Amino acid sequence: MANSPPSGGLGQGERLLLVLLAALLAAGLLWFRGGLHPEAPLEHLARQSLDLPVALGNGKPTLVEFYADWCEACRSMAPAMETVEAQHRSDLDVVLLNVDNPRWQPELDRYGVNGIPQLELFNAEGDSVGRSIGARSLEELQALTSALIDNGPLPALAGVGAVSSLELGGGPISATEPKAATMATPRSHG
């Protein structure tokens, strides 16, 4: 009986089956998590960006992007955003806020985000100086960041403009006021 496994132990066939099962599970997990690819630019930027209050209070101009992981325009713009962030890391903050994260709902309301990508532009004092709607090329992003860093006028690009405070019924609109039921949300386009 030298060929039989000890009582309660695994035989060679069972061990081989467990090793194969573990390898299949590991391969499945790698596939599910995106494989061995390096982190996508959008994910990389989002993970390394400062908290918005910190960025707005540290004396550097700030570019805030409202984005979503599923947004093709956001994903296509991500390499250019990553380049801009790397080139201007010492004199510009880049902050990414995911519209699907409920943590950012007050900011979505405050900045009237109803489509993505939406960029909010802030001067070194943390004051809002403009907004950009839609995907931007590297050249357009560089023009916007140069204007922020130089404290100059925003470039004349379609979908870019200064922001102003709106008034409703004689007073400023509050982020806590109820919204119309038919108002579009960042998630309303596909």
| Catalytic residue positions, numbered | 71, 74
Angle between helix 41-48 and helix 72-87 axes, rounded to 10 deg = 60
Six-digit token string for 101: 């994260």
CA dihedral 154, 103, 68, 140 (to 10 degrees): 10
Task: Please tell me whether the peptide bond between 117 and the residue prior to it is cis, using omega within 30 degrees of 0.
Answer: yes
Phi-psi region of 56 (alpha: psi -120 to 50; beta: other; left: phi over 0): alpha
